[in-house]
Amino acid sequence: MTALPAHSRVCGSKRPGRGHARRALCSFGTYLVAALTLSAALSLPPLARSQERMQIDPNADFIRRFTTVRWSMIVPDKDYEGGCVVGFLAFAFSPTGYFTYNNRIRGSWRVDELGNLKLRTRDGLQFTMLVDGQTMRPSRTIEFLTRAMIFERCPE
């Protein structure tokens, strides 16, 4: 004996001439449940509208801390002042959520719940910069950064 599909076991026999009314009622019930589920899902507000986007003031202190000046590399010592002036081996963060590193690597950034920076390059590489007072360092070694590098906030 072959096993019947799940729909057949629930809604009746698949043998011809038997249970036509039962199968029709079962099919109607299946479509009714699907239609009610779909209408309920469509009547809910979309997630983007139901959760209002948090509006962050670009002049807020925690944003200005990163965006007013560059963050230049101090360890290893490779021309800290040059990084502050022209961006050599330095991060520059914009209030609109974008960053530039070494004047060539670009991507987006945000502040996480711990005050560290979450960065993502245009190539999709994601990494975290751990912020400690006036310095920050990468949490792991990646293509263009090592964990030993430390960046300091340039003077205003």
What is the tens place of the pLDDT at every residue in 109-126? 999 999 999 999 999 999
Domain for residue 1, yes or no? no
pTM of the model: 0.62
More reliable by pLDDT, 53 or 73: 73
Domain for residue 56, yes or no? no
Given a contact cutoff of 8 angstroms between Cβ atoms, the answer to whether 91 and 80 are in contact is no
Domain for residue 85, yes or no? yes
If asked whether residues 24 and 65 sit together in one domain, one would say: no
CA–CA gap between residue 59 and residue 39 (Å, rounded):
43
Domain for residue 81, yes or no? yes
pLDDT value at position 60?
A: 74
- Tokens found for residue 73: 């590399």
CA–CA gap between residue 153 and residue 134 (Å, rounded):
6
If asked whether residues 21 and 89 sit together in one domain, one would say: no
Phi-psi region at 10: left, alpha or beta (left = phi > 0; alpha = psi -120 to 50): alpha
Domain span at residue 25 reads 6-49
Mean pLDDT of 136-153: 96
More reliable by pLDDT, 10 or 129: 129
Q: Residue 103 belongs to a domain with what CATH number?
A: 2.40.128.640
If asked whether residues 31 and 103 sit together in one domain, one would say: no
Domain for residue 54, yes or no? no
- Whether the link from the prior residue into 16 is cis, omega within 30° of 0, is no
